[in-house]
Structure 1
């Protein structure tokens, strides 16, 4: 699909992590279930099922925001989020994550073309750092962002994309940004930030219909296809 609206180079590429560049095999759900148990939610209850459905629907959102919605009380939300991050970190330390096939190569390809790549997440910084360390990705890109790095609001707000724009100074305008992610919230974040390419990938939480409904300009099989897409729309 050719983008005829803008022929400028997409010099800033903002990529999601879990589900987009990182395969976590459902660890978010496992970690949530562990956290919910700590807060007294019976794993066999309808309440647990309802809460887990919400977690699935809001993949990509800041996790503390998810816990605030689910539990209301700020103390419970903070306790739940801390338990979630602890459980997820233990799963990461146990070797339960891996790169999406071709993700590292795609990032290196994008950087080799002179583009600036930023990795973003809805997790807390401690979890993001654990993932980067487990994959050996600490030096893969120059900037990584979590919601706290962008004022505390995660997706679907545009804050992390706009923080990447402001902090890197890589491009002159937001239309020179490309965003890629696996959730509807990733798409909304990119659209609200004004990115001209908002690419959904089918390696994570949401399907083609959900990604397009949230504003995806393109839907790819995986992030491995992104360098070719950007070269194509810039011809």
Structure 2
């Protein structure tokens, strides 16, 4: 006897109960600070700007935007000790740039988060940075009390994107949704998209305010590509 195929329905946007939002590039405009901080990390490991080695490593950083930074440095520098030295230099440099006031919200980002909350949805902010850097960003933006849960890779067992762990941790901590089909994942990189798909999110959207363009986001599997996160509340209200 043939087993009937499961009756799979896409989750209507209006049924989303939990929204998992990336920070840098999605809700936070950092003006390329990741690359500037990478230069500091590279110099700390003896990689000189202008060299072929630097160019190749920077290309990898660009290609893996959204991934946990310690994972990126493990790939670039091999052994754990060198990776941690590079990561520490990166986080220190990025934090100093944040302290210098070189970050700002993506226009409309705070209003979008507040609208999502007002609509009865839970919102979690996630990052590939370490907790100390995430906290520095939240402080610089005045967002400490914007949402009750913010997550970095260490909060999800150490694995960041493109693994599903951050999304699943948000799902478990908030208990806002009955299944991951009621979760939306939104970010500016292909790794954000992949993490949402791997977690079984009911809606996965890319935004055009960060690292990757619309073509790359759609190729990775994004069901929607928005000009910015400011468009998200209307999408989830069913105005798509």
Structure-2-length-normalised TM-score: 0.95
Whether 2:5 is the aligned partner of 1:6: answer no
Match of residue 233 from structure 2:
227
Q: CA deviation at 1:31?
A: 0.1
Deviations 1:98-136 (A, max 9, x none): 000000000000000110000000000000000000000
Q: CA deviation at 1:73?
A: 1.2
Larger radius of gyration: 2
TM alignment of 1:23-38, pairs within 5 A: 23-38=29-44
Match of residue 111 from structure 1:
117
Q: Please tell me whether the aligned partners of residues 11 and 203 of structure 2 are also in contact (alpha carbons under 8 angstroms).
A: no
Cα distance in 1 for residues equivalent to 2:156 and 2:63: 23
Match of residue 75 from structure 2:
69
Whether 2:154 is the aligned partner of 1:139: answer no
TM alignment of 1:13-162, pairs within 5 A: 13-162=19-168
Which structure 1 segments of 5+ residues have no match? none
Deviations 1:13-51 (A, max 9, x none): 000000000000000000001110011001110100000
SS state at 1:138 partner: coil
Q: CA deviation at 1:196?
A: 1.2
Q: CA deviation at 1:6?
A: 2.2
Structure-1-length-normalised TM-score: 0.97
Match of residue 176 from structure 1:
182
Cα distance in 2 for residues equivalent to 1:98 and 1:81: 23
Q: CA deviation at 1:9?
A: 1.1
Deviations 1:165-215 (A, max 9, x none): 001000100000001000000000000001111010000000011101111
Match of residue 3 from structure 2:
none
Whether 2:183 is the aligned partner of 1:192: answer no
Q: CA deviation at 1:232?
A: 1.2
Cα distance in 2 for residues equivalent to 1:131 and 1:203: 17
Which structure 2 segments of 5+ residues have no match? 1-8
Match of residue 217 from structure 2:
211
Q: List structure 1 runs of 4+ shifted beyond 6 angstroms.
A: none
Cα distance in 1 for residues equivalent to 2:205 and 2:231: 10
